[in-house]
Structure 1
């Protein structure tokens, strides 16, 4: 579970512009009076409910987590607006019902309880760590190069090939390292970070839009699931227990539905009912 929070924290940063400094018409607020986080994610202006983001939203141009402290000290972020490009932010998504974690909502208590009652006993943990990345350059929105580079690295570094399996799984094309066999033992892989199973989904043009890898890491069979959305111009990363892999397509749809519920006009007027609002 530590890894999940570490990954989410990488999506945030500590450069906060106060509401008084921001030149915007108004902020949407929750029942406790907390102001939303605002900006433009990919192609859409959004208002993220207070208490949802784990850490802070990182905006384009913000110094990185490991940037020179002198650079951080001199940096001044432009005033917040519904057009200020968001680079990334993270939150927690509950796979079993499509809800999300928000502080001062029931989901806060639910998440704490699940940590205490499920993880210590090795039971499937129903929460996924999610990071959303805005994509603003001209790079293609697909994983074609990523997958081929993974295959090349396996061949050059660990000296085995990824073999496409004859049957798809859950609608995904499956590739297994050395056809699923550890060459050292002649038995199925039991634990090797370099021997993940790879699952992909292509669009009608043949471009890889969904890329999932699942592996054993310290006895936790986890998946890293990435997908692109062309309408939003974003890349999404989710990390969750492999138990929930059959729901990969539902998860992708639910994440986009959550983002859609946060859409606003350029003046900040909500276009729907926000999911996760306290």
Structure 2
């Protein structure tokens, strides 16, 4: 006699324990996604500000002056000014420090830090009252969650040196793609525009005229107009890229080198496109602030007039 066929309900009933494992699997996937999202936020934090892991933020509120070697220049940065300070021997992502935190001296090579500076007067948080002025424009949490805030006078430059420095002449190497598009992706193929803007040579991605003319058309986030300032010898002194349509408060990023001032460091700052016309003054102000951290022979900060050549 043939065995009776199992009922439809019996056929669709999962074996004992299968439902529990499905729940466990879904929970594990959720935890994995949450972990990846956390790592994404950490990466956004680093890419937005250009600084190291969150644990390196302990220098953000240090009660002491920051001392070290900034690309060959001995510096004393007044307490409260430099934030998220990283030295060459600090642990990298996912690493823990081995041994006690070293005592920092003028031989300690700085790798990166950021600071706030008010445009156009160059005020910093060396004056505690300036922090109150900055806070008028919103909280640090708002700045992180919504990008660099527009409508205020404060800029947040970043500095890379030491192990993060790309060697002298890095701006010229970056700029090669502007005039040598062969083999590059479409968003790195440019037309040189016939007229300068605020003393800057302008390069625009090929073939985007129709998208620019249509106010409803969105452009890929990788599309950037590039603005270049070269000196009389053709050396690139300033490199700015801006999204041509995203008119938000951090649409432009300006980069330059301190190598002509004898300091092997890159400086960069983000701002809204309305400030692009002030690129010379911004670069001079931030450069002068940084060179003003130079330590005098007695260990104090020394006000040093920057070279600011060919700007």
TM range (shorter): 0.7 to 0.9
Within-5 A mapping of 1:19-38 = 34-38=63-67
Within-5 A mapping of 1:235-254 = 235-254=266-285
Would you say the 8 A contact 2:116–2:154 is kept in 1? yes
- Match for residue 80 of structure 2? 51
- Match for residue 18 of structure 2? none
Q: What displacement does 1:132 show?
A: 1.0
Aligned pairs, number: 250
Q: Taking structure 1 as reference, are residues 269 and 200 closer, same or farther at Cα in structure 2, changes over 3 Å only?
A: same
CA deviation string 1:208-244 (max 9, x = no partner): 1211001168651611110012222211011111111
Q: Taking structure 1 as reference, are residues 206 and 75 closer, same or farther at Cα in structure 2, changes over 3 Å only?
A: farther
Distance 2:66 2:107 in 1: 12
Q: Which has the higher contact order (CA 8 A, sep 6+)?
A: 1
Within-5 A mapping of 1:218-237 = 219-220=247-248, 222-230=251-259, 231=261, 232-237=263-268
Distance 2:154 2:208 in 1: 28
- Match for residue 128 of structure 1? 155
Would you say the 8 A contact 2:187–2:205 is kept in 1? no
1:269 paired to 2:296: no
Distance 1:219 1:195 in 2: 13
Larger Rg: 2
- Match for residue 70 of structure 2? 41
Q: Taking structure 1 as reference, are residues 15 and 160 closer, same or farther at Cα in structure 2, changes over 3 Å only?
A: closer
Larger fraction in helix? 2
Distance 2:287 2:53 in 1: 20
Distance 1:238 1:249 in 2: 13
Q: What displacement does 1:124 show?
A: 2.7
CA deviation string 1:29-77 (max 9, x = no partner): xxxx93201001112111111111222x11113222x23x3xx242655
* TM-score normalised over the length of structure 1: 0.74
Consecutive unaligned residues in structure 1, runs of 5 or more: 19-32, 274-278
Would you say the 8 A contact 2:177–2:188 is kept in 1? no
Aligned CA-pair RMSD: 3.8
Distance 1:90 1:76 in 2: 24
* TM-score normalised over the length of structure 2: 0.67
Larger fraction in strand? 1
